[in-house]
Amino acid sequence: MSDVPDLSSDDEHYQEDEWQEMEATETPVTCLFCSNIFPNVDETVVHCEKVHGFDLSTLKIKFNMDCYSYIKLINYIKTHKSNAEDIMRADKSLWDDEKYLQPVGNDEWLMFDFDSITEKSHSPKTYHANVENGVVTLSQAHFLELQKTIQSLTEQFKESQTHLQMAKEDMSTMQVSMQSIVDGGSVNNIGDSTLIVDCVSKVPLECDEGYFNSYAHFGIHYDMLSDKVRTQSYKDAILKNTNSIKDKVVLDLGCGTGILSMFSATAGAKKVYALDQSDVIYHAMDIIRENKLENVIKTVKGRLENTKLDSKVDIIVSEWMGYFLLFEGMLDSVIYARDNCLNPGGILLPNRCNISLVANGDTDMHKKLIEFWSDVYGYKMNCMKSEVVREASVDIVSSNHIISESCIVKDIDLYTCSTDIVNFTSEFKLPIISDGFVTSLVGYFDTFFELPQTVSFSTGPHETPTHWKQTLFFFRDCKEVKKGDVIEGTITCSRLKTDVRGLSVLINIFGKSHKFILS
């Protein structure tokens, strides 16, 4: 390691005589518009301005140029052998293309600081004026300088007018955007058009990174993998139906650690695309290599809507379900994959899901969550109750507290549904099976893999708990019911206006409307 230089800043190793100053040298510079050569760039700039009318300071103001714009300008002139008059008369920066960052020959113009050049050209100058009999006589140089100043101010005025017009247009666009949000749906501006964001594929990737980053942590993958109901169901659906998987091309959408990809490879898949935008994909690569399945499984980092696969697939397997089934909006990506990546007659795993409601009579949980605010260390905080119930809760509900039969409010066929499936209204009837107080409605979902060997699982309160738990819609006031009563109402589910992956749920029951959000 003795050949490695010591870069330490320790004073005792510092030797002032080890540093040598570079001598300043002047390199001849050729004019951009003729063959004249000058000893330095300053004199060349003066020559270009006086002889050819090429004024860098005016161009800098006119086009709001920085050092990169300057480099592009020089390379543009060298490439196209432009004349100064065309450059100065241009109404837009003709050189505004990344390709002009590539140097053209050993051009000494590019070795100088554009800012210092323009600063020199703006150095204040002093002129004397003769005044006789009320008549002011200016020198030619003074007159030319005034003309230049007027031209510069005129360009600044034009630029200000342009910026003002752009600001007006931006304000108009903002008004349209705000109106769109109020009417329904968030918006994105793309070019000159306003795009209503009503599904995940329309969300710019940079605006969606927060969602994927939430899956980059160990904890969430531990929760999912240790959920035996979830993981064993996928394993059974794949490995008990090897005849449906063998020699097929599979897409594991949102692969996470790659467990479903490895199930598919073990079942005999010819090729598996394991795709995920989250950084967990890098761990999946290691896991797949560790299990010697890299020849079958190809990992792909990216959001499907922004990624092109090498080929279409025969099977799409995805664990896309969120709280209350539809939260997180990943169903949008499955539908996109189905429409753009799946071969005709292909298989979706799972292929069907439904959402159900059931009445909850857990008064202790209600007191803990709602009545808590009536007396907080001796102070009343009742105003918080409405805010608390507005947010849907996610928790495990004991079957002992269920006081009604369940009712399916939405059945989803993944082969035919569209991204608008999130927006629905359904009526429901819940027959009461025991006396009690309705404190909330509980939402859950069932999932089906309808293959030759059918597999299904439920996230309901009567089944083994899963990491999805149940979604609770609490009411501020409890409602007493008797066995034999039938609760009737409607539920309306829709995308949140401000978060395409979030949900708004409106429940009309007991003569009142109750609004909830999942976000």
Q: Which of 12, 85, 294, 328 is catalytic?
A: 328
For Cα atoms 355, 357, 360, give the angle at the middle one, nearest 5 degrees. 145
CA distance 448 to 457: 7
Distance CA 188, CA 241 (A): 43
What is the distance, to the nearest Å, from the Cα of residue 374 to the centroid of all Cα atoms in its chain? 41
**Residue keyed to tokens 């050209």:** 121
Q: What is the largest CA-CA distance in the chain?
A: 112
| CA 169 – CA 162 distance, rounded (Å) | 11
C-alpha distances (whole Å) from 502 to each of 61, 65, 327 are 46, 43, 6
Structure tokens at 479: 């409602």
328 is catalytic: yes
Beta bridge pairs of residue 437? 480
Secondary structure class of 201 (helix, strand, coil): helix
Please name the helix (run of DSSP H) or strand (run of DSSP E) that holds residue 224, with its range, or none. Answer: helix 218-225
**Placement of tokens 């009712």 in the chain:** 407
Give the C-alpha separation, 313 to 274, whole Å: 12
Task: Give me the catalytic one of 319, 387, 463, 488.
Answer: 319
Which tokens go with 139? 């020198």
Verify whether residue 319 is a known catalytic residue: yes
Q: Which residues are catalytic?
A: 319, 328
